[in-house]
Structure 1
Amino acid sequence: MESAIGRVASLEAVLFDIDGTMAISDPFHHRATSEMLIKVGYNDGVPITHEFGMTHMAGRSNEQIGQFLFPDWDQGRLDAFFAEKEALFARYAGEGLKEIAGLTALCRWAGERGLKRAAVTNAPRANAELMISILGLSDFFQLVVTGEDCERSKPFPDPYLRALDLLGASPDHTLVFEDSTIGVQAGVAAGMPVIAIADENREGKLLTVGASLVIRDYRDPKLWAELGKLDTTRPRESC
């Protein structure tokens, strides 16, 4: 684990997923999706479990989720379903979205060192920007890349490669922060070490797909021990 992060040596950029990585958003996604699935009679109207959502939906784009849930639906029906679901999510998130503990401190650390930074997500752009705004980080991120911006979304590396290209950053000097299996796979496929946010139940799976380090949140001493080994000497700027 140490060698994968240590090879970065001189750190110049940090890339963050949003859902579950920066924000505690899963409860709001679960609520909105569950309500919509009950409305359309999915699974005979039986509510989906949290485990079902984490296994089949976490980190995935709406296109990927739609193909799994409703393989026989036409595009118009899928678009209408997800438009309503995302509107519900935005309403619920606006009532109580919170950051993963320690995120603000990490952003301040990155900003003070002049690191390049981008949010890279499979979420629709409107809700990605909404979550970033609620977290007070609209001025922190230099760009937001969504799966919609690329021919292929995560778990393919395309969104992360696009972010690197737009930032003018090298994968050899960049860290990725993720929380989902497909997100970790995308970051690793793009050639970067990935630090994953997860509880003990998911730690093994994320390490198996290539995470270099798994932490509980951004206050984790393991994270700061690794960051302390990296050369981040850059002009200071505000977070």
Structure 2
Amino acid sequence: MREEESMSMPTADDSSDRSRSLLELAPLEAVLFDVDGTLCDTDPLHYHAFREMLQEIGYNGGVPVDEEWFIENIAGKHNDDAAAFLFPDDYERGLRFLEDKEDMFRRLIKDKIEPIKGLYKVTKWIEDRGLKRAAVTNAPRENAELMISMLGLSDFFQAVVLGCDCEHPKPFPDPFLKALDLLNVSKDHTFVFEDSVSGITAGVAAGLPTVGLTTRNPAHLLTKAKPAFLIKDYEDPKLWTVLDQLDKTE
């Protein structure tokens, strides 16, 4: 059994700071972003790759998996955990399957990546205020760097933290805690953008107010992870009301 499986999973209740308002973060020091589903809407491509490849090997009796299954069991999870879930009796086979799936994903993503609506508006807001920023993701390095590059954000992020570089990936808080350390900022002056239950759980467990995006995952599922609040995208008036207030507070 892998170490991650032997430990109890963190929950939103692990952090007493989860209900802190973003306004209490003033002066704001940093903003952390997930990548898949948070910078760009890539879940449909991941789902397509899983559906096609699992059907090819006869998974689920050859019946194609549906999007609800993907959201509940795969979205936002580290590949190690996905491999263990898909192939509980042959973990090494699972890892090989995930490597092939990521190859397929990178082929699919060519010319098909689109930023989440309003992304460049919020990145400009962050740059204009001189805030520090990092991408924090469970994606493999090759995927993360490709997506960030295709979005033109390679120079925007001052650090990229991968789940595989930490003792435990999301939903554990380790990747976010490592980002705070790399940026040399306090959790008391940093918040997170995330789009999955796994990611929100990790942010909250790290003591960071976490804004959830309902890019693909249903609001009722994200709410269970206790985000600070939910937004549709980066043009959501709810977000800008808070950011404008934060400006005035500082």
- TM-score category (smaller protein): over 0.9
Shift of 1:172: 0.4
Q: What is aligned with 1:196?
A: 212
Work out the CA distance in 2 between the residues paired with 1:95 and 1:115.
Answer: 30
My pick for the range that moved more, 200-209 or 134-143, is 200-209
Q: What is aligned with 2:165?
A: 149
Check if 1:19 corresponds to 2:36.
yes
Mark the CA change 1:73 to 1:200 in structure 2 (over 3 Å): closer, same or farther: closer
State whether residues 122 and 154 of structure 1, in contact with CA within 8 Å, keep that contact through their aligned partners in structure 2: yes
State whether residues 195 and 217 of structure 2, in contact with CA within 8 Å, keep that contact through their aligned partners in structure 1: no
Work out the CA distance in 1 between the residues paired with 2:216 and 2:100.
Answer: 34
Q: What is aligned with 1:34?
A: 51
Residue from 98, 104, 116 that aligns with 1:82: 98
State whether residues 113 and 232 of structure 1, in contact with CA within 8 Å, keep that contact through their aligned partners in structure 2: no
State whether residues 4 and 212 of structure 1, in contact with CA within 8 Å, keep that contact through their aligned partners in structure 2: yes
Q: Residues 88-99 of structure 1 correspond to what in structure 2 (within 5 A)?
A: 88-99=104-115
Between the two proteins, the alignment pairs up a number of residues equal to 233
Check if 1:52 corresponds to 2:52.
no
Shift of 1:134: 1.1
Shift of 1:199: 6.1
Shift of 1:185: 0.7
Q: Secondary structure at the match of 2:245?
A: coil
Q: What is aligned with 1:159?
A: 175
Q: Residues 124-135 of structure 1 correspond to what in structure 2 (within 5 A)?
A: 124-135=140-151
Unaligned runs of 5+ in 2: 1-17
Amino acid at match of 1:37: L
Shift of 1:46: 1.0
Mark the CA change 1:152 to 1:232 in structure 2 (over 3 Å): closer, same or farther: farther
CA RMSD of aligned residues (A): 1.9
Residue from 211, 222, 242 that aligns with 1:206: 222
Shift of 1:207: 2.5
Residue from 74, 83, 89 that aligns with 1:66: 83
Work out the CA distance in 2 between the residues paired with 1:3 and 1:176.
Answer: 13
Amino acid at match of 1:23: C
Identity between Structure 1 and Structure 2 (%): 52
TM-score normalised to the size of structure 1? Answer: 0.92
Q: Residues 221-236 of structure 1 correspond to what in structure 2 (within 5 A)?
A: 221-231=237-247
Work out the CA distance in 2 between the residues paired with 1:182 and 1:226.
Answer: 24
Work out the CA distance in 2 between the residues paired with 1:144 and 1:173.
Answer: 19
Work out the CA distance in 2 between the residues paired with 1:181 and 1:19.
Answer: 13
Shift of 1:13: 0.2
Shift of 1:57: 0.6
Work out the CA distance in 1 between the residues paired with 2:246 and 2:105.
Answer: 38
Shift of 1:144: 0.6
Q: Can you list the C-alpha shifts for 1:181-209, whole angstroms capped at 9, x where unaligned?
A: 11111001101100010169722332232
Amino acid at match of 2:97: F
